[in-house]
Structure 1
Amino acid sequence: MTFDFDLFVIGGGSGGVRAARLTAAGGAKAALAEEFRMGGTCVIRGCVPKKLMVFASQYSGAAVEAASYGWDISIGDFNWVSFQARLKAELSRLEAIYTKNAGNAGVEIFHQRATVKDAHTVVLADGTEVTAKHILIATGGTPFVPQNVSGIEHAITSNEIFDIPELPKRILIVGGGYIASEFACIFNGLGAETSQYYRGAQILRGFDDEARGHIAEVIKEQGIHLHTGTDVESIAKQDDGLHVTSTDGNTKVFDVVLYATGRTPKVDGLGLEAVGVAQGRSGEVVVDDYSQTNIPSIYAVGDVTNRIQLTPVAIREAVAFHETVFKGNPMKPDHANVPSAIFTQPEYGAVGLSEEQAREEGPVEVYSAAFRPMQNAFIEKNERVMFKLIVCVNTRKVLGCHIIAPHAGEMIQFAGVAVKMGATKEDFDATVAVHPTMAEEIVLMKEPVRVHN
Structure 2
Amino acid sequence: MSEVASDYDYDLFVIGAGSGGVRASRIAAGHGARVAVAEEYRVGGTCVIRGCVPKKLLVYGAHFAEDLNDAAMFGWDVPVKRFDWPVLRDHVQAEVKRLEGLYGQTLASNKVETFLERATIVGPNLVRLASGRTVSAAKILIATGARPFLPDVEGIEHAITSNEVFHLERLPKRIVIVGGGYIANEFAGIFHQFGSHVTLVNRSDTILRGYDESMRDRLLQISLAKGIDFKFNASFSRIDKREDGMLHLALDGCDDLEADAVLFAVGRKPNVEGLGLEEAGVDLGTRGEVKVDKANRTNVPSIFAVGDVTDRIQLTPVAIREGQAFADTQFGSGGVVEVDYDCVPHAVFSHPPIASVGLTESDARNRYGTVKVYTSDFRAMKNVMAGRNERSLYKLVVDEASERVIGIHMIGPDSPEILQAAAIAVKAGLKKADFDATVALHPTMSEELVLMH
TM range (shorter): over 0.9
How far, CA to CA, are the matches of 1:67 and 1:370 in structure 2?
Answer: 26
1:320 counterpart letter in structure 2 = A
Q: Which moved more, 1:315-324 or 1:362-371?
A: 362-371
Match of 1:414 among 406, 410, 421: 421
- Per-residue deviation at 1:206? 1.0
Match of 1:142 among 147, 159, 169: 147
Match of 1:347 among 339, 347, 353: 353
How far, CA to CA, are the matches of 1:89 and 1:76 in structure 2?
Answer: 24
1:165 aligns with 2:169: yes
1:313 aligns with 2:300: no
1:264 aligns with 2:262: no
User: 2:28·2:328 contact (CA, 8 Å) conserved in 1?
Assistant: no
User: 2:51·2:162 contact (CA, 8 Å) conserved in 1?
Assistant: yes
1:166-245 correspondence runs (5 A): 166-240=170-244, 241-245=246-250
1:63-74 correspondence runs (5 A): 63-74=68-79
1:330 aligns with 2:336: yes
1:284-433 correspondence runs (5 A): 284-328=289-333, 329-362=335-368, 363-433=370-440
Partner of 2:40: 35
- Per-residue deviation at 1:190? 0.7
Q: TM-score, normalised by structure 2?
A: 0.96
Partner of 1:416, secondary structure, is: helix
How far, CA to CA, are the matches of 2:243 and 2:230 in structure 1?
Answer: 26
2:232 counterpart letter in structure 1 = T
User: 1:113·1:125 contact (CA, 8 Å) conserved in 2?
Assistant: yes
- Per-residue deviation at 1:249? 4.1
1:211 counterpart letter in structure 2 = M
How far, CA to CA, are the matches of 1:169 and 1:77 in structure 2?
Answer: 15
Q: Which runs of 5+ in 1 are unaligned?
A: 447-453
How far, CA to CA, are the matches of 2:430 and 2:51 in structure 1?
Answer: 33
Partner of 2:279, secondary structure, is: helix
Partner of 2:100: 95
User: 1:231·1:246 contact (CA, 8 Å) conserved in 2?
Assistant: yes
Q: Which moved more, 1:70-79 or 1:435-444?
A: 70-79
- Per-residue deviation at 1:245? 2.0
Aligned residue pairs, count: 445
- Per-residue deviation at 1:76? 3.1
1:188 counterpart letter in structure 2 = H
- Per-residue deviation at 1:235? 1.1
Two-structure CA RMSD over aligned residues (Å): 1.1
How far, CA to CA, are the matches of 1:289 and 1:249 in structure 2?
Answer: 45
How far, CA to CA, are the matches of 1:66 and 1:298 in structure 2?
Answer: 56
1:237 counterpart letter in structure 2 = K
User: 2:68·2:81 contact (CA, 8 Å) conserved in 1?
Assistant: no
Partner of 2:278, secondary structure, is: helix
1:427 counterpart letter in structure 2 = D
User: Could you give the per-residue CA deviations for residues 327-357 of structure 1, whole angstroms, max 9, x where no partner exists?
Assistant: 1321101111011211001110110011111
Partner of 1:103, secondary structure, is: helix
User: Could you give the per-residue CA deviations for residues 24-75 of structure 1, whole angstroms, max 9, x where no partner exists?
Assistant: 1222100000000000000000000000000111111111111233321134
Following superposition, which runs of at least 4 residues in structure 1 exceed 3 angstroms of deviation? none
How far, CA to CA, are the matches of 1:215 and 1:75 in structure 2?
Answer: 30
- Per-residue deviation at 1:250? 1.1
User: 1:203·1:228 contact (CA, 8 Å) conserved in 2?
Assistant: no
Q: TM-score, normalised by structure 1?
A: 0.96
Q: Which runs of 5+ in 2 are unaligned?
A: none
